[in-house]
Each structure stands twice: as C-alpha cells, then as structure tokens.
Amino acid sequence: MGQSEVVVVGAGIAGLTSAAILSKQGLSVTLIESHTQSGGCAGTFKRKNYIFDVGATQVAGLEKGGIHSRIFDFLDIQPPEASILDPACIVDLKDGLKPISIWYSKSQWIAEQEMQFPGSRRFWNLCNLIHQSNWLFANNNPVLPISNFWDFSQLLKALVPSNLVTGILLKSTIFDLLRTCGLSKNERLIKFLNLQLKLYSQEDVYKTAALYGCTVLQMCQQPHGLWHLKKSMQSLSEALESSLKKTGVNLIFGQKVNSINFDYVNMRWKVSANSKKNSFVYQAKDLIYTAPPQSLLEHLEGQLNRKITYKNRLANLPDPSGAVVFYSALKKEHLKKISSNHYQFVSHEFGSLFVSISEDGDGRAPKGEVTLIASIFTKTKDWFDLDKQNYLKRKKDFMKKISLELESQFDILPENWLHRELATPLGFEKWTNRPNGIVGGLGQNPDIFGLFGLSSRTPFEGLWLCGDSIYPGEGTAGVSQSALMVSRQILASKGIENFSL
Ligand SMILES: Cc1cc2nc3c(=O)[nH]c(=O)nc-3n(C[C@H](O)[C@H](O)[C@H](O)COP(=O)(O)OP(=O)(O)OC[C@H]3O[C@@H](n4cnc5c(N)ncnc54)[C@H](O)[C@@H]3O)c2cc1C
C-alpha cells in the first residue's frame, strides 16, 4: 500500500500542475494516471510520420505574468518553446463578406472591429473595461466559489475597487451587454460572438456569463495572446513532468482509479486502482481529483450515499458537450490561401468548424507537410445510443461531410489527403476516461460561473476537485489556475498560509 501526503488522480494539465506545486512546496505526492502518457485532453498521439494534438491546440497564459508562465517561474523550469499566434484565428461567417482576422496587436484588432462591425465600439470598450477589472482580480488569486472563512478571506483580498462595479454583472450575459450598447439586433456581430464564445465557454451570447465572456474575448490580444507550441502540445506536459522528476513525485502511469473511500481507522483517503494485471491501493490525507466531477458518482459511490444533496448536485450537473475531431495531414503546397494557424468557419451541417494547422517544420509533420485538425461540438448521446453498425455508419458519414467542408473551404483536392481519421466521443472516453467523452468542463453561464459554480472543496474533508469543471473553467490556462487555487487551499489547511506565486 502506497502512502503519501497527497494523492492526485489524473495527469492532465490540472493534475500535473497541482502535483508539481505541492511537491515543490515539500509535500510527498503520488500522481496516478490511467493512460500511458500525461496530458489528457492536452496530450498528443503519433500516427505514421505525424504527431497530432488530441484536443487543445493553442495555449493562453504563456506570456510574462500569465498563469503558465508564473507557474513555470515558481517551479524553476523552462517553459515549452512557443510563438504568438497572429492572427489568433480567422473567422469566416460565410456571408460573402471578408472573414474576420483576430489580430494580436490591439490597435490592429480595434481597426478590424471597426471595419467588420461598424457601430460596435461601445460594446468592445465595455468588454475591455470589464476584462481589465477581471484580470486584476484573477491575478490576486481569488478562491471561488467560497465554502469557508479562509476562502472568503482570499476572495476579499483579491477584490479591487472596480470589481464592486463589475460585480453588478454577476448574473448578466454577453447578450445583456449587447442590449445595453444598442446592438441586440446586430446579426453579424452576434453570429461572430456565438462562434467564438461557443469555443471557450460552450455557450452562445445569450447564455455566456458576461464576466467570463468579456475576458475570453480579450485573450488573443496583447498583453496576453494565444500561443502555438513548437513540436506538439505534449511539450507543455513534458515541462511539468520535468518538475515532478526534480521534486520526486511518484508518477504512476497505466493505473485506472476505480474507487475512492475514506478509511475511518487511519483517517486517510484510500484510492484503489487497477493496471491491466494488478490491483493497487494508495493512501493519503488529501486527495485531488481531476477527472470530471461526474465520475465521482461511480468512484465515490459508497461515500456519496452519506451526502445525498451533493450526490444529487453531481448527478444533475448540466450535460457538457462532446467533440468530434478530424485529424489529417497533407502537403503544404496543397493547402492554399493559408495565413493563420487557426480558422473557424460557419457550417450549415455542424454549426461551425474550428481548424488548427501546424507550421511547416514545427515537428508535427515531415518537412513540406502539415497536420490539419478540425473539431466540432456534438451531443454525446447521439453517439452512445447507437448500435455498432449505426455508429460506424455515422462516423463514416461525418468523415465524408467534414472532408467535403474542408475541401471546399481550403481548395483541397480529395486525392491530396495524406492521412485522415476521426475521433468521436467514444474515442474521447477511451482516451481521457471522461464519462461519455464529455469535454471542456461546464458551460460558463451565470448559474455556473464564479460564485455559483462547483467548489474545489467537497463536503468530504481532504477530497478536492480540480480541472476544467472548477473555477475559472476550461483550457490549459484555466485548469492551471484551478490547480494553483486547490494547492493554496491544501497548503493553508496545513498552516502554510501565505503561499502565492
Ligand atoms: C477538442 C478539444 C479542443 C480543445 N482546444 C483547446 C485549446 O485549443 N486550448 C486550450 O487551452 N484548451 C483546449 N481544450 C480544453 C483543454 O484541453 C482542457 O480544458 C484541459 O486540457 C483539461 O485538463 P484537465 O487536467 O482538467 O483534464 P484532462 O485533460 O481530462 O485530464 C484528466 C486526466 O485524468 C486521467 N483520468 C481520468 N480518470 C481517471 C481514473 N479513473 N484513473 C486515473 N486517471 C484518470 C485522464 O486519463 C486524463 O489524463 C480543448 C479540449 C478539447 C476536447
């Protein structure tokens, strides 16, 4: 039986980051991962000569002062090599007008907004003001939602005067801001915002919390920006793994946690896991759980029957999305009209397609070739309810339709594909152990975001949640912030009060 002070379940970015921080602070940590590699939704897989990013393809928070950068500095490790995305994305609304380039430079982006969405200046200025206030708050490491006095004290410390004004918007949506600015009927702007917000918040303008939406709409510009990692997304996890090695974290691959129980005799959490051949048990006073909270319904079944209200809350969490991802490769010369690594375009069939294209020579494909990854949102139920034959038929149908959309968008000849394959929610479930292949955490509407979300503290002492269902939400930057928050909570519970980055 393995003993440590902390057991972390899951070596995605949330688990790697929390394990690295706590271990650097001197705690003994065991990190258990069911896969044979780390990274989870931000991992990669190899096929033929190509390396494909499984889910995440771009990274926020690598700039100086950004969350990844602060954590790398604290861990004293090298950040992965990366370049800024400029434009971060080109969005084609397929309305016959020029596609929208989301520039890194603030002034260039303002000029683009004015050209593309005349009369929308007030809205963007308002978003910017709200974002500035959010950013000062987020950099002060707030704890949200609050569950006890310590959390409350951290929230108070993080507040800046402007938050008292923006706090009025706690229950507002992006659409409320549009209405305030007289833009509730601006169809083109709403169409653009719907596409972008769906990517980052899983909700549209009518449902995305204003406080969340304003920040994600400003992430592509200086002083922030989105980054393209050289080699692959795996280099983010590899950098974090290098810290685990230095501080002696017990990192275990190939063991799937199947149950969690509290041992009342030893007053410790008991984590049972299985490899292909053997069973293992780990014990620790603190347990960080980075699998989706919905998985607790299975893993914590026995304990949850003692806390029915919490069990019901987990059982009734809104259904997150699933994803269908198309992984492909082709010669660079066969991909015409490309001036960005990322494209998003309207699709009648799928709502929208988000496309990530590697750079020639960045390590994902042999020289002269590129990988092209396209993703769409899907209802997980639509895939899991099918028998095998209908599942395969649907998959083939999606493959064909996505190929056609991409061929038409980028002038690709069908014979020029060098590689094509598709992942559905069934594949994501297998890869990440996420129930039904749900991805990206909970939709960031006003009932879920911030104060009203699921807390990292659970009703079970020493059991902590972390990852993209916890504040501040999805993305590698979001889950790193949540890992920092939970690490601070654990350290404070051990009397290490003033830990901050
Ligand atoms: C298609 C897609 C595109 C995306 N694009 C972007 C993007 O461009 N930029 C961005 O920042 N974010 C993006 N995201 C979101 C981002 O990838 C995730 O929010 C983030 O990586 C989640 O990290 P996590 O550690 O919380 O969870 P996960 O990555 O899911 O990690 C959880 C880990 O726990 C392990 N695990 C689960 N259950 C068990 C168990 N029982 N026992 C042991 N181990 C277990 C899993 O194997 C996994 O490694 C995207 C996601 C998807 C799916």
DSSP secondary structure letters along 258-310: EEEEEETTTTEEEEEEE-SS-EEEEEESEEEE-S-GGGHHHHTHHHHTT-HHH
What are the pocket residues of ligand 1 if the criterion is a CB atom closer than 6 Å to any ligand atom? 9-15, 32-35, 40-42, 55-59, 256-257, 290-291, 323, 325, 375, 432-434, 439-440, 467-468, 474-476, 479
Structure-block tokens of residue 487: 């690490």
DSSP-based three-state secondary structure for 43: coil
Structure-block tokens of residue 422: 């598709």
pLDDT of residue 157: 94
Structure-block tokens of residue 336: 């015409």
Q: Ligand 1 centroid vs 12 CA: distance in angstroms?
A: 6
Structure-block tokens of residue 198: 């769906």
pLDDT of residue 188: 98
pLDDT of residue 19: 98
Nearest protein CA to atom 53 of ligand 1, as residue = 55
CA distance 155 to 6: 25
For all residues of the chain together, what is the average pLDDT? 96
- Extract long-range pairs of 431-436: CB within 8 Å, 24+ residues apart: 431/35, 431/43, 431/54, 432/12, 432/35, 432/40, 432/41, 433/10, 433/34, 433/256, 433/291, 433/295, 434/41, 434/291, 434/292, 434/295, 435/292, 435/294, 435/295, 435/298, 436/322, 436/380, 436/381, 436/384
Is residue 325 packed enough to be buried (19+ CB in 10 Å), middle (13-18) or exposed (0-12)? buried
Sheet holding 351-357: strands in order across?
Answer: 100-102, 89-92, 342-347, 351-357, 369-378, 322-331, 417-423
Q: Which of 473, 493, 334, 491 is nearest to 18 (CA)?
A: 491
Nearest protein CA to atom 50 of ligand 1, as residue = 56
pLDDT of residue 498: 74
83: β partners: 228
Q: Ligand 1 centroid vs 138 CA: distance in angstroms?
A: 22
pLDDT of residue 221: 97
pLDDT of residue 500: 74
pLDDT of residue 336: 80
Residue 466 Cα: closest atom of ligand 1:
26
CA distance 124 to 131: 10
What pLDDT, in 10s, does the model give residues 167-178?
A: 999 999 999 999
**Per-residue CA distances from 287 to 9, 146, 262, 326, 471 (Å):** 8, 19, 10, 35, 18
Is residue 245 packed enough to be buried (19+ CB in 10 Å), middle (13-18) or exposed (0-12)? exposed
pLDDT of residue 169: 94
**Which of 31, 41, 89, 296 to mutate to test ligand 1, by most ligand atoms within 8 A of the CB atom?**
41
Residue type, 225: G
CA distance 347 to 109: 25
Residue type, 372: L
Q: Ligand 1 centroid vs 480 CA: distance in angstroms?
A: 12
Q: Please, what are the domains in the chain? A: 2-45+61-81+229-318+442-493 (3.50.50.60), 107-224 (no CATH), 322-437 (no CATH)
Kindly give the parts of the chain with pLDDT less than 50: none
